[in-house]
């Protein structure tokens, strides 16, 4: 099915096409198809196109750039393993995003990080240093997000940055949509307080 879609797109392009978004999409789709068939060079091109976005997702969800680098590599190992099963029912970038979120969540579970808000999260706010957040173009928000308790940060990133609904978040994290809404509300209050200092 996916192979047929890529072939149909390629056939619909004029032979002397100048690079456009459609031509780029065809090339990316062709690389995904070739990588799914085991072509390592095509997979390397897919990796280069998508690695920054995956790293960004991992960094926001984990709040730790070093851990995000490791998890980003894990994501692409998983993508290489699962790519032959990619059917093309959704955009590749959507499928890749889902794989990245799942790898991050699995990694967090294996290191024993709880999914729900805990007393430790509440104490973290009280014990957090009250140093003023440096003024910068986007550093204020990034630093404020990084200082959120893990549960609140995870919900904030999934909902407000990545665009997941509370129902989708609930399914991914094994919590109720109401729990997701409560954590998002908490995250927004904490961010507002951090940014108004």
CA distance 100 to 168: 15
CA distance 56 to 68: 8
Q: Which two tokens stand for residue 107?
A: 């990694």
Counting Cα atoms < 13 Å in the Cβ hemisphere of 137 gives: 0
Q: Which sequence spans correspond to the domains of the chain?
A: 2-110, 119-195
CATH class in words for 2-110: mainly alpha
For residue 58, with 0-12 CB atoms within 10 Å meaning exposed, 13-18 middle and 19 or more buried, which class applies? Answer: buried
Q: Which two tokens stand for residue 99?
A: 């794989």
Tell me which residue has tokens 């029912």. Answer: 89
Tell me which residue has tokens 């998002």. Answer: 184
State CA 159 to chain mean position distance.
11
CA distances from 123 to 63, 147, 175 (A): 18, 13, 22
CA distance 35 to 44: 8
For residue 24, with 0-12 CB atoms within 10 Å meaning exposed, 13-18 middle and 19 or more buried, which class applies? Answer: exposed
What are the pLDDT tens digits along the chain (197 aa)?
A: 444 444 444 444 444 444 444 554 555 588 899 999 999 999 999 999 999 999 999 988 888 888 889 999 999 999 999 999 888 778 888 899 999 998 988 887 766 544 444 445 555 545 455 444 444 535 677 888 888 898 889 999 888 888 888 888 888 888 888 888 888 989 888 888 887 77
pTM above 0.75, yes or no: no
CATH class in words for 119-195: mainly alpha
CA distance 60 to 104: 10
CB atoms within 10 A of CB 14: 7
User: Are the C-beta atoms of residues 186 and 118 closer than 8 Å to each other?
Assistant: no
């Amino acid at each position: 099915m996916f192979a047929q879609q890529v072939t149909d797109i390629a056939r619909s392009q004029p032979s002397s096409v100048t690079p456009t978004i459609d031509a780029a999409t065809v090339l990316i789709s062709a690389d995904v198809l070739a990588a799914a068939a085991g072509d390592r060079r095509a997979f390397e091109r897919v990796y280069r196109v998508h690695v920054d976005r995956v790293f960004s997702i991992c960094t926001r969800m984990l709040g730790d750039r070093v851990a995000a680098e490791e998890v980003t590599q894990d994501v692409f190992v998983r993508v290489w393993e699962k790519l032959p099963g990619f059917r093309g029912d959704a955009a590749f970038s959507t499928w890749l995003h889902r794989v990245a979120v799942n790898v991050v969540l699995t990694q967090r579970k294996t290191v024993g990080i709880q999914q729900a808000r805990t007393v430790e999260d509440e104490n973290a706010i009280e014990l957090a240093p009250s140093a003023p957040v440096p003024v910068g173009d986007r550093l204020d928000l990034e630093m404020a997000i990084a200082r959120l308790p893990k549960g609140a940060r995870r919900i904030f990133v999934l909902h407000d940055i990545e665009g997941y609904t509370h129902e989708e978040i609930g399914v991914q994290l094994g919590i109720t949509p109401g729990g997701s809404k409560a954590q998002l509300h908490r995250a927004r209050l904490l961010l507002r307080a951090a940014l108004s200092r």
